Structure 1
Amino acid sequence: MAATIPTLSEGRTTIRPIRLRDAKILDRELSHNRSWLRKWEATNPHGPMSFDVRSSIRSLQQNARGGFGLPFVIEYDGELAGQLNVSSITYGSLSSATIGYWVSERFAGKGITPTAVALATDHCFFGVGLHRMEICIRPENEPSLRVVEKLGFRYEGLRRCYIHINGDWRDHFCFALTIDELPAGVLRRWLDGNAPVSDAEVPAADRARAARPLLP
């Protein structure tokens, strides 16, 4: 079942549905941020894959019509700052989804990403009716690790060689929240200073494991 994709705002940050007419500016932002984003980008394990922004938007929109995703762009003071995609939406007994995102380097450090993630997660919980939200992050991605720390996502474990990123299979740390933990929502808890930042702490043993190659 397709879910309505709303426009949501908090302060100077807005998330809204992605549109085909966003293709030109998204392509420009991605080009200007190649070195900033490349090391976190998903890649094709079977060889090079061409990337076309308009085709990507159409694919995201088709996925959304099928009820499997919610594709947003992130804006700051009305200017496009990045993307956020809720994907792998499942209903029924699981009722869960995952979130991925990127923000242009020039917008880093403004609190945009945690605000956008909180807005999207609250919508999925209270608007779509999902029960669980997951974020998986590379161990080296300290800015994203700070996002889940700020919002109080719980650390759930290390997934070895989980996603093909920047040309190889990469380990990821997994974090999650359920609606049961958040009667007032993710955004409200964070803004009120009540997010349990220690919940996102990664055990030293898992950091050490992630630093070692997975041997046959």
Structure 2
Amino acid sequence: MPADAAGTWPVTLVEGPVTLRPLRRRDRRAWLDLRAANAAWLRPWDATSPVGAPPTSFGAYLRSQDRQGRSGEGLPFVVEVDGDLVGQVSIMTIVRGALWSGSVGYWISRHVAGRGITPWAVATACDYAWGALGLHRLEVNVRPENGPSLRVVAKLGFREEGLRRRFLHIDGDWRDHRSFALTAEEVPGGLVRRLRAAGQVPR
């Protein structure tokens, strides 16, 4: 019987040099500094509000992340490498019923991009969602212009399902996204195993 996400949070996942864990109050300075250092790098890909909502404080953001984890609606992880916070990977909009699905989102600091950390972190989170939580389908939606993110889904073998027109509000407008997905049956050994077999380990 698949496990229900409610009641399993908080959880920490360690796979090789990469650790996924919940955001903590003591991360405030490191998280704010990392976001500030990567503001220009992330601006074209970060979701925005079409009604111009004010910025969310770190405390409010932390509480929102914790609520989603504890309710089973999401798995919001920060990514650590060698003890340093370098990004985030989340499986959100978790739906059960007849679907048992979730949507994967991620970002990584520019100073560690290209080292294989992002696909490894995404693979670790997906394997947990398919295994411990029993989810059936995971999807990733990527702007057509986002070359680094497209390379992540290609490395992981996500199957393209089509174009979602004006799908999310990003950087001030509604943006098209290419949609990719995998079901648990398509990756019986898990994504981390797939990366290891291909020699695509973080460096």
TM-score by structure 1 length? 0.86
One-letter amino acid of the counterpart of residue 145, structure 2: E
CA spacing shift, 1:64–1:122, aligned 2, 3 Å: same
1:31 paired with 2:36, answer yes
Choose the corresponding residue for 1:177, options 171, 182, 187: 182
1:70 paired with 2:71, answer no
Q: Which residue of 2 aligns with 1:125?
A: 130
Compare relative contact order (CA 8 Å, sep 6+) and give the higher one, 1 or 2: 2
Within 1, Cα distance between the matches of 2:126 and 2:39?
A: 27
Which has a greater percent of helix?
A: 1
Choose the corresponding residue for 1:14, options 19, 23, 27: 19
CA contact (8 A) 1:23 1:57 kept: no
Choose the corresponding residue for 2:149, options 144, 148, 154: 144
1:135-177 Cα shifts (integer Å, max 9, x gaps): 0000010000000000000001100000000110000000000
Within 1, Cα distance between the matches of 2:156 and 2:196?
A: 9
One-letter amino acid of the counterpart of residue 181, structure 1: E
| Structure 2 gap ranges (5+) | none
Q: CA deviation at 1:193?
A: 2.0
Q: Which residue of 2 aligns with 1:84?
A: 89
User: Match of 1:63, SS?
Assistant: helix
What number of residue pairs does the alignment pair up? Answer: 195
Which shows bigger deviation, 47-56 or 120-129?
47-56
TM-score by structure 2 length? 0.91
Within 1, Cα distance between the matches of 2:140 and 2:81?
A: 22
Q: CA deviation at 1:52?
A: 1.5
Name segments (4+ residues, structure 1) moved above 6 Å. Answer: none
Q: CA deviation at 1:194?
A: 9.5
Within 1, Cα distance between the matches of 2:10 and 2:161?
A: 28
Within 2, Cα distance between the matches of 1:95 and 1:56?
A: 26
Identity percentage of aligned residues: 49
| Structure 1 gap ranges (5+) | 196-216
CA contact (8 A) 1:84 1:100 kept: yes
Q: Which residue of 1 aligns with 2:55?
A: 50
Q: Report the aligned-residue RMSD.
A: 1.5
Within 2, Cα distance between the matches of 1:23 and 1:189?
A: 34
Q: Which residue of 2 aligns with 1:159?
A: 164
